[in-house]
Amino acid sequence: MTAFFVATVTIKDPAKFQDYAQQAGAT
């Protein structure tokens, strides 16, 4: 589920994904 979400966010908005990754700790 996480991988799917990450891929979706990356395609949807890479800029927002970077912020999310930092919050989720998925750097």
Domain ranges of the chain: 1-27
What Cα–Cα distance (Å) separates residue 23 from each residue in 2, 20?
14, 5
Q: Which one has a higher pLDDT value, 26 or 21?
A: 21
The pTM is what? 0.31
Q: What CA–CA distance (Å, rounded) separates 9 from 17?
A: 6
pLDDT per residue as tens digits for the range 9-20: 666 777 777 777
3-state percent breakdown (helix, strand, coil) of the chain, nearest 5:
80, 0, 20
CA 3 to chain centre: 9
